[in-house]
Amino acid sequence: MLPANYFIRHLEPSDIEAIIAICQLVYPNERPYTREEIEDHRRVFPQGQFVAVESTSRAIAGAHFTLRLCMTDFHFDDPWDVLTAGGTFLDHDPAGPTLYGADLMVHPLHQHHGIGHALTEATRFLARDEHLWRMVGASRLPGYGPLSATETVGQYVDAVVRGIRSDPVLSVHLKDGWTPVRPIHGYLQHDPESANWAEVIQWVNPDLDPPFKVRRK
């Protein structure tokens, strides 16, 4: 449950600089979003961009960015850059049946307060409101890097799913109700902690049947 001194709302232009700063802290090896890219997010899909705010200071504590996609237009192993049109979200498809969770980040000073879970719940409410079949994302595997020389990524993910190991990111996603699908290599360009691996994850909307094409396959 989100603490009483935080609330969730949609992204506003005044939030952009704070979000860029959070991005630099959370993804130190990746190029942060530009102002223009975040403005594009709001322009193409404003209802899919969420921020968490600390009530007293009005500080931006975290953000969750999403867009709608038709995943059959992509390859399963496509990296983040391809799925997000280089971080601009200009490939957003208003008719796409899948809500793609492009980014979920929480400022280090505000972590461990349930903010990531609350932001995830906000996007699931959106998926239900827009009658979308599912959400898809990818989880970093920052615990895998030190073990990559001794075990496969499949073995590592299986151990995390079974609770034998704990991963700082994937374990949180599993606790939040995501289902692992399969690992992919090169999802992010620079993620040495994960040995450049990630796990595709999804959440299926229990209120809807799969689209006809999926049922046929």
Q: Which domains does the chain have, with CATH numbers?
A: 6-132 (3.40.630.30)
- Residue pLDDT tens, the chain, 217 long: 788 899 999 999 999 999 999 999 998 888 899 999 999 999 999 999 999 999 999 999 999 999 999 998 998 889 999 999 999 999 999 999 999 999 999 999 999 899 999 999 999 999 999 999 999 999 999 999 999 999 999 999 999 999 999 999 999 999 999 999 999 999 998 899 999 999 999 999 998 877 655 544 4
**Could you tell me the maximum CA-CA distance found in the chain, to the nearest angstrom?**
52
Phi-psi label, residue 87: left if phi above 0, alpha if psi -120 to 50, beta otherwise = left
